[in-house]
Structure 1
Amino acid sequence: MKKVLLASVMAGLGFGMAGVTTASAAETYEQYQTAIDARQGSGVSGTAIFVPQDDGTMEVRLTAENADGLKASIHTGLCRYSNDSEGAPEMLAFSPEPLAQLDDIEDGKSTCSINMTADGMMTEPHSVAIYDGDAVVACGNIQ
């Protein structure tokens, strides 16, 4: 019994300490997709699609449910630290200052162009957050 419990605890610790996986810089894709999940029972969720452009920018196409009139932005760091980055590893901490602000969400959609390459987006953790005022009501990690 003790061996099974210890193995379960060790497996749980290993799962909790899993690192962030990002795409290799050598990999290229036509587009990237990120699921945006509701937080705090908001009912807001969606998808962001990132399409690399020939000029080195990225076109962002966001679709979201229950989000009309809300704002969305791209941040460095992971969603799990969006409410509190205290104690988070520096590379994973969610920066409250956005790297890019998307257009306001209207009819469940927002599009914009950001000055970020696919390599820049994938070599360190980034996330897409949807805000109602100052509160993050939905968030998705870009991986």
Structure 2
Amino acid sequence: MADHKRLAAQQGAWLCFEDEAGQTLRSPKGRTWGRKGHTPIVSLPVKGTGRVSIVGLIATRLAIPQQRPRLIYRLRTHRGRKGERRGFGEADYAAQFDAAHQQLGGPIVVVWDNLNTHTSAEMRRLIAARP
């Protein structure tokens, strides 16, 4: 058994897999075929600007097999305003984990990728400040 699974099972903790994704709000470019000399008109939804980002985690409990997995997520919409952050920062991830800890009602063990925000000194400091 992997170390994170063993640790979660020994502590009776929730094993959480976290990841993030983003998508632009702009309509895709419309293309179609048309007869020579007859320009086709393709209507698209209203042009959107900005992006939407989502961070989510799947939580499962190994110690209690009959317990159903949970999905906890947060959305952020970016409109490209000056000074507005496009992605999630360390404080946003810490708030996500605080919410997960509160909703799940127990300790959590998080498995995530090596995104620079996840491995930063600020993130290590925020995690160390929590039980």
TM-score by length of 2: 0.34
Higher helix share: 2
TM-score by length of 1: 0.32
Larger radius of gyration: 2
